[in-house]
Chains A and B, each alone.
Chain A
Amino acid sequence: MSILQVSDVSKSYGGIRALAGCTMTFEEGAINGLIGPNGSGKTTLFNVISGYERADAGRVTFRGTDITNARPDRVFEMGLGRTFQITRIFPRLTVLENLHVASQRKGFLGQLRGWNSAAERRRAMEVLDFVGLTPLADEWAGGLSYGQQKLLEFAFIIVARPSVILLDEPAGGVNPTLLRSLADRIRALNADGVTFVIVEHDMEFVMGLCDRVLVMHQGCALTAGAPEQVRADPDVLEAYLGTDMKGTG
């Protein structure tokens, strides 16, 4: 069952084709890995899916609804969250406030009341416990270490209980202990039914964690399958190690 589909999406920046007729489907309830050499368009794909970039052509479908070129806030409201390659949090707000930004409230009156309602606070503390940041709840997010900020970004995506989470290089610059605990949490959430799409270069991380791996090359999908399958695929090896340099950058 596919929960997220990308059909024939293209995106160019000036002369550079970042995405060229990219088509792929992401299975619901799976931890999908998305790999590919640098410049293959992975982050651009994330940007297009989450609404940060407009696609030049093609469609993005999420749970049956067409979300092509939808606004980022709309996409998040529908249940699709993403992290960024370079961790982005709100440095001048406290950790707790960071989490509360993401907690959704319906209606005009909801916006008027204080941001720290009991139910939301409970949920926020629950999530903080889950990622292990509870002692830092009232600290300034800008003062957190790199690893802690990564966890925070992960945390505030989770707060709104999205059904799909796009992780852009979650293992980047992270120590092995934290990496293991990150993988544990991804598995725990996945057991609860959250679908993941993880862009990563750390092969061990991907192969050990993902149920399914999709490979991108030069702006479109190359192949997809179980990790061991993909690992042994000669086309994939050529894409990574091959001599052609077109489309990189």
Chain B
Amino acid sequence: MTATEVTPVGAAAPEHIPYELPRPARWGGTGLLLAVLVLFPLVFPNPAVTSIGVFTMIYLTAACGWNIFSGYSGYISIGHAAYYGIGQYTVALLAMHLKVPAGWDTFGLLPAAGLVSAVAAVPIGFLLLRVRKHTFIVLTIAVMFILQLLAFNLTSWTNGSGGLELPIATWQGSFFNEPFYYVGLVAAVAACAVSWWVRRSKYGLGLLSIRDDEDRARGLGIRATRTKLTAYAISAFFVGVAGGLYGPFVGSVYPQFGFDPNFDLAVAVLVFVGGIGTLAGPVIGTLLLIPLQQYFYLQFGNANLYLIAYGVLFVIILRLLPAGIAPSIIRMWRWFLLNRRRAAAAAAAGAGAPGPAAVVAAEAKQVKP
């Protein structure tokens, strides 16, 4: 029996060490985080601070959305700014043509921003997903630039480099950020919820199997193209919503800020730092880095430093911690559990149970990710 390959003779199979934090920790942590985020603007009402909060929510929505595709499928896209821009322009154009008044009504346009982005993503994704992974990455950037060029050229629609103005809400200066923050929070929570649901659904399992070995997945009945395309559209939706929030917040939409390669860089760094392909990764990365970035921007006001800093950070993460922070936390937790078990085995050895050596040998079969 092959069971002998698995456990050494004479010892019971060691208890499996889980790959996730215990359920109470996960749910408790999420609840706590949510509470903190909800109370945040009430505790720190200073507009400079809440403005950072708004950007954090925008990037959180985009990062979770991006991760649903690039993280779970393994197809890294560095051109999702295409959908950021589409989201911005959708809201701007709809606001203009439908004469949407400033204020709460512009938020009603957010689902439209997401939907238009998702619909645009289908043909684009269909075209892009036909090629190998590295060509895919390259093409995502090309697509983004095509859209940027179109935004510059189709002046009758987009007003080209003149940009489009959005109605500015007439809220009081000190209250201006709060609505954006809370709507952004709702969007971000929605993105995270979808991400969580994808991860535990049958659909998501198919996506993850594509990441590991697409051809093998095909041979097991997974419809790869359909699966990838769906994830691509979902991620485009959320990035579009993020754009739809950004536009009204800053008040104007320009081709180079809508279709902005720096956005792609930022989202990639955020998710990689936090842990690409994980649930908590985008959240950790965004909550860590965006406030930092915004703070530096306000203090030093120099865009170049931000480029250099992000670039350096990206290189460091890629080299030292390519899996990101979240998996490292899991690894430390497992190491802690493993040690605790060995200590218990050593203590029990005195009572005649299999000694730590046997336990360690059995554990050698349980390999860390």
Q: Which residues on A are within 8 Å of B, measured CB to CB?
A: 50-52, 71-73, 75-77, 81-82, 84, 88-94, 97, 100-102, 104-105, 110-115, 131-133, 135-140, 142-143, 145, 147-148, 151, 156-157, 160, 177-178, 181
Does B9 lie at the interface of the complex (its beta carbon under 8 Å from any beta carbon of A)?
no
Interface size on B, residues (CB 8 A): 38
Q: Of B1, B5, B203, which one neighbours A145 at CB under 8 angstroms?
A: B5
A84 to B218, CA, bound (A): 13
Contact call A156/B220, Cβ cutoff below 8 A: yes
Assess whether A73 is in contact with B369, with CB atoms less than 8 Å apart: no
Q: Which of B1, B7, B219 contacts A181 (CB 8 A)?
A: B1
Q: Across the interface, do A76 and B216 meet the contact criterion of CB distance under 8 Å?
A: no
Q: Is B19 within 8 A of A140, CB to CB?
A: yes
Q: Tell whether, in the assembled complex, residue B222 and residue A101 are in contact, meaning their CB atoms are under 8 Å apart.
A: yes
Asked if A151 and B2 sit within 8 Å, CB to CB, the answer is yes
Give me the 8 closest cross-chain CB pairs, A-B, nearest first.
A143-B367, A132-B2, A90-B212, A111-B203, A72-B218, A102-B220, A88-B216, A135-B13
B275 CB to nearest chain A CB (Å): 13
Q: Is B202 an interface residue (CB 8 A)?
A: yes
* A101 x B2 contact (CB < 8 A): no
Cα A98 to Cα B106 in complex, Å, equals: 45
Bound: A97/B206 CA distance, A: 10
Which residue of B has the minimal Cβ distance to A91? B212
How many A-B residue contacts, CB cutoff 8 Å? 124
The answer to whether B212 touches A72, judged by C-beta atoms less than 8 angstroms apart, is: no
Question: Are B202 and A114 within 8 A (Cβ)?
Answer: yes
With a CB–CB cut-off of 8 A, which chain B residues contact A110?
202
**In whole angstroms, how far apart are the Cα atoms of A115 and B200 in the complex?**
6
> Chain A residues with Cβ under 8 A from B221's Cβ?
73, 76-77, 102, 104, 160
**Cα distance A108–B16 in the bound complex, in angstroms:** 34
CB of B321 closer than 8 Å to a CB of A = no
B220/A76 in contact, CB under 8 A: yes
Q: How far is the CA of A160 from the CA of B369 in the complex (A)?
A: 27
Chain B residues closer than 8 Å to A157, beta-carbon distance: 220
In angstroms, Cα B222 to Cα A148, docked, is 23
Query: In the complex, given contacts A90-B212, A113-B201, A181-B1, what are 10 additional A-B residue pairs having Cβ atoms less than 8 angstroms apart?
Result: A50-B219, A88-B213, A91-B212, A93-B209, A101-B217, A102-B221, A138-B18, A140-B368, A177-B2, A178-B2
Given contacts A71-B218, A112-B203, contact A132 B212 (CB under 8 A): no
Query: In whole Å, how far is A48's beta carbon from the nearest beta carbon of chain B?
Result: 13
Q: Does B53 reach chain A (CB closer than 8 Å)?
A: no
Contact yes or no, A136 B6, CB < 8 A: yes
Given the complex of chains A and B, what is the CA–CA distance between A95 and B365 in angstroms?
Answer: 14
Chain A residues with Cβ under 8 A from B16's Cβ?
137-139
Q: Does the CB pair A52–B219 fall under 8 Å?
A: yes
B224 interface residue per 8 A CB criterion: yes
| Contact bitstring B1-42, A, C-beta under 8 A = 1, else 0 | 111011100000100101100000000000000000000000
A94 to B18 Cα, complex, angstroms:
11
- Using A50-B219, A135-B6, A136-B6 as known contacts, say yes or no to A90 and B201 having CB atoms under 8 A apart: no
Residues in B with CB closer than 8 Å to A84 are 216
B205 part of interface (Cβ distance < 8 Å): yes
Give the chain A neighbours of B274 by CB distance below 8 A.
none
Which residues of A lie under 8 Å from residue B218 when comparing CB positions? 71-73
Whole-angstrom distance from the CB of A79 to the nearest CB of chain B?
11
Question: Is B223 on the interface with A (CB-CB < 8 A)?
Answer: yes
A72 touches B219 (CB 8 A): yes
Please tell me if the beta carbons of A114 and B212 are within 8 angstroms of each other in the complex. no
Measured in the bound complex, the distance between the Cα atoms of B157 and A195 in whole Å is 63
Give chain A nearest CB distance to B79 CB in angstroms: 25
User: Of all chain B residues, which has the CB nearest A98?
Assistant: B209
Q: Are A73 and B209 in contact (CB under 8 A)?
A: no
A115 contacts B366, C-beta separation under 8 Å = no
Residue of A nearest to B13 (CB): A135
Chain A CB within 8 A of B208 CB: yes
If A72-B218, A101-B206, A102-B221 touch, does A135 touch B3 (CB 8 Å cutoff)?
yes
